[in-house]
Chains A and B, each alone.
Chain A
Amino acid sequence: MSGGQTWLILGASSAIARALAREAAARGADIILAGRDDDDLRRTAADIGVAYGVHARTETFAALDHAGHRALAASLADIPGILNIALLFGIMPEQAAMDADPSLAAACLDANATGAISILHHIAPLLEARRAGMVVGFGSVAGDRGRLKNYVYGASKAALHTYLAGLRNRLGRSGVHVMTVKPGFVDTAMTFGLPGMFLVAQPRDVARVCLNAAAKKRDVIYVPWFWWGIMSVIRGIPERLFKRLSI
């Protein structure tokens, strides 16, 4: 508690979110775990309470329930100290599954882009008024270029990147920092057992890197860092050639 920090973790059931919550708690912040699976979130809240001695609680949050976003944002008004937001929810249906069922493609955009923009847009005025805090939004390297294997998911993350860039510009004027994180391969439920993974990062390491970078007010980071190089190369390939590649 105190006049310290509170982190609201949106989409708190994922491995990276759990790691981020623990890492922030280890640095003394109180934690609000928001998501749909309340039974599971309570377990994480218990863990954080025991392990780090901070206050941890859960909130119901669903990306598609836009009406609920307003209520959640309103409930944040009386949190003392500095409020930070981490946005980590998202779904990644297989490209082939979305090709077969276009409604899945729409659902991917609904959750990853529309849902994310909706909740952050509800919270933005609050942060502006508080004139402090930060937003850490999780995009993806997949958002850097439309690749044959993953372009719908990529499109949802590209939308989020663009949104976060604008929000950074807007909130920066009120002393609120916005950081975009573009993870490469991280050892999570999304990537578990997938072929073609290499140099896979552990969630705990990703969480540490993110909080350190956020403290330094970095704007956009790749984790692990070498993905910056990989994506620079991929972005540099002329479209004329790229459209024939199946990377």
Chain B
Amino acid sequence: MRKAALKLAGWGRTTYAACEAARPERFGEAVAGFAADAGQNGICLYGAGRSYGDCALNSGGTALITTRLDRILGFDAQTGIVQVEPGVDFRRLMEVFLPRGWLAPVTPGTGFATVGGAVAHDVHGKNHELDGSFGQHVTAFDLLLPDGARRTVVPADGDLFAATVGGAGLTGFITRIEFRMKRVPGGAVRVREHRAANLAAFLSAMRDAAGASYAVGWIDAAARGAALGRGILETAEPIEGVFAQPPERARRVPFEFPAFALNRFSVALFNEGYFRRVPPDGRTRVVPWRTFLYPLDALHDWNRIYGRRGFVQFQCVVPFETGARALRDLLEVISASHQASFLAVLKRMGAGRAGFLSFPMPGFTLALDFPRCAGLEALYARLSAITLDAGGRVYLAKDALLDAASFRRMYPEFPHFAAVRQAVDPERHIQSDMARRLRLQDAP
């Protein structure tokens, strides 16, 4: 396995790692490369690099990039069970299976993410309340352990399954994933958009929409006072019709935007227009699956709009019981900071989760981007503290700034994870910048 000295980045482009990277194209080469001695800083798996922070980065160590292990290994059209190599991404799943009436059961908001990455963070979609997390649809996976042993792991295996799903790649190299696709009646959804004038209206609209197949809210994080928490709730139902997706007209962000392009005034202006785009009594549209599930994918490298300074995403979930209060507190801090960007999402989550370190819990999840700026660490710490006080947690797939102590309180099942990790990787062959930062390395 040939390695090259590379600087890899998290999607937010505030976290970087100088490392020895390899991108094997043959399966056997990847297996041998993973097992080889990786030195003091070990090895980490890197999928499509769509995690925002440092979970896939390994400064001073080795990174094994999985994107060229991209083959679909089998599909059973009776059961909908598909088997894939870890580097297959959600775009390809859609391209191959939607024309036959099958869709990934759960997908993150970008089709560029790999299935390996989806397992490693037990990702959720806009259908979490109804359909749960990705890991709940996984029927088996193959895991290459740090000592070179290969295991096929099924949900009934218990701890090793639960430590690996959502385990941020720290229990082994997931080399094959088997999961159940879901049937859809056509190539589009009927989307209903409602305006919500403030947070209370937003939360009650979301409660009323709890039975919707898909639901996601855009929130105006710059709004304050009486308009605090205003936004647009989108609910969607699959509809019958042709499966073909319109041709993709991809655009690329050709350069890094200058820092002044995104400021409180441009964001407020954008948000006002974005809010008013939907008439006061709402509207209904038919939208192809790809546009609905992956709205940002048509703009390649959109992370460059934040310029060279990069950005950080904060995503938390807070329980329903304490959530209304916590969201108000969070939004007040955010709008007062004048730092939020226009990309801000509010969704409801259900109980579905499949791993010890899985993010979801029943409650509200809020996600928003902040361009890097002075005081960002302090702002992030305040938001994390509000989340923690409300009994919530921060999402590791997005995180670059959480501290180890808060992490442990947010993830009470960490000791179970640590016990499995101690058993399968006592030498700490697998490492990452996140593992070192959050002390995921520690023995239980």
Contacts across chains A and B counted by CB atoms under 8 Å: 51
A-chain residues with CB within 8 Å of residue B150 when the two chains form the complex? none
Binds A, one of B19-27, B304-312, B323-331: B19-27
Q: What is the CA–CA distance of A114 and B28 in the complex, to the nearest angstrom?
A: 27
Indicate if the CB atoms of A192 and B2 lie closer than 8 Å. Answer: yes
B-chain residues with CB within 8 Å of residue A15 when the two chains form the complex? 25, 68
* Size range of the chain B interface in the assembly: 20 to 34
Indicate if the CB atoms of B4 and A194 lie closer than 8 Å. Answer: yes
Which residue on chain B has the smallest CB distance to residue A41? B26
A-chain residues with CB within 8 Å of residue B25 when the two chains form the complex? 13-15, 18, 188-189
Partner of B74, one of A14, A39, A50: A50
B-chain residues with CB within 8 Å of residue A18 when the two chains form the complex? 25
Is B75's beta carbon under 8 Å from chain A? yes
0/1 interface trace, chain B 51-86, chain A, CB 8 Å (1 if under): 000000000000000001011111100000000010
Is B5's beta carbon under 8 Å from chain A? yes
Is B269's beta carbon under 8 Å from chain A? no
Given contacts A51-B96, A193-B21, contact A46 B74 (CB under 8 A): yes
Interface residues of B in 1-18 (CB under 8 A from A): 2-6
B-chain residues with CB within 8 Å of residue A46 when the two chains form the complex? 71-74
Main DSSP-derived SS at the B contact region: mixed
Q: What is the CA–CA distance of A18 and B68 in the complex, to the nearest angstrom?
A: 10
B-chain residues with CB within 8 Å of residue A14 when the two chains form the complex? 25
Q: What is the CA–CA distance of A189 and B2 in the complex, to the nearest angstrom?
A: 8
B-chain residues with CB within 8 Å of residue A217 when the two chains form the complex? none
B-chain residues with CB within 8 Å of residue A40 when the two chains form the complex? 26-28
Given contacts A13-B26, A14-B25, A40-B27, contact A47 B71 (CB under 8 A): yes
A-chain residues with CB within 8 Å of residue B72 when the two chains form the complex? 46-47, 50-51
Which residue on chain B has the smallest CB distance to residue A35? B26
Given contacts A40-B27, A47-B72, contact A193 B4 (CB under 8 A): yes
A-chain residues with CB within 8 Å of residue B71 when the two chains form the complex? 43-44, 46-47
Is A110's beta carbon under 8 Å from chain B? no
Which residue on chain B has the smallest CB distance to residue A40? B26
0/1 interface trace, chain A 183-194, chain B, CB 8 Å (1 if under): 000001100111
Indicate if the CB atoms of A192 and B96 lie closer than 8 Å. Answer: no
Chain A nearest CB from B138 CB (Å) reads 18
Is A37's beta carbon under 8 Å from chain B? yes
Indicate if the CB atoms of B96 and A50 lie closer than 8 Å. Answer: yes
Partner of A193, one of B6, B70, B73, B74: B6
0/1 interface trace, chain A 39-60, chain B, CB 8 Å (1 if under): 1100110110011000000000
Q: What is the CA–CA distance of A188 and B25 in the complex, to the nearest angstrom?
A: 8
Q: What is the CA–CA distance of A13 and B25 in the complex, to the nearest angstrom?
A: 8
Q: What is the CA–CA distance of A194 and B23 in the complex, to the nearest angstrom?
A: 12
A-chain residues with CB within 8 Å of residue B70 when the two chains form the complex? 47
Which residue on chain A has the smallest CB distance to residue B5? A193
A-chain residues with CB within 8 Å of residue B68 when the two chains form the complex? 15, 189
B-chain residues with CB within 8 Å of residue A194 when the two chains form the complex? 4
Q: What is the CA–CA distance of A50 and B71 in the complex, to the nearest angstrom?
A: 10
Indicate if the CB atoms of A43 and B73 lie closer than 8 Å. Answer: yes
Interface residues of A in 65-124 (CB under 8 A from B): none
Q: What is the CA–CA distance of A18 and B67 in the complex, to the nearest angstrom?
A: 13
B-chain residues with CB within 8 Å of residue A13 when the two chains form the complex? 25-26
Which residue on chain B has the smallest CB distance to residue A52? B96
Which residue on chain A has the smallest CB distance to residue B65? A192
Q: What is the CA–CA distance of A39 and B6 in the complex, to the nearest angstrom?
A: 29
Interface residues of A in 3-19 (CB under 8 A from B): 13-15, 18
Between A40, A44, A50, the greatest number of chain B beta carbons within 10 A of the residue's beta carbon is seen for A50
Q: What is the CA–CA distance of A133 and B402 in the complex, to the nearest angstrom?
A: 61
Chain A nearest CB from B224 CB (Å) reads 45
Indicate if the CB atoms of A37 and B26 lie closer than 8 Å. Answer: yes
A-B residue pairs in contact (CB < 8 Å), sample of 29: A13-B26, A14-B25, A18-B25, A37-B26, A39-B27, A39-B28, A40-B27, A43-B27, A43-B71, A43-B73, A44-B71, A46-B72, A46-B73, A46-B74, A47-B71, A47-B72, A50-B74, A50-B75, A50-B96, A51-B72, A188-B25, A189-B23, A189-B68, A192-B2, A192-B4, A192-B22, A193-B2, A193-B4, A194-B4
Q: Given A13-B26, A192-B22, A193-B21, 6 more contacts at CB 8 Å?
A: A46-B74, A50-B96, A51-B72, A192-B4, A192-B23, A193-B3
Q: Spell out A's residues near B (CB within 8 Å).
A: 13-15, 18, 37, 39-40, 43-44, 46-47, 50-51, 188-189, 192-194
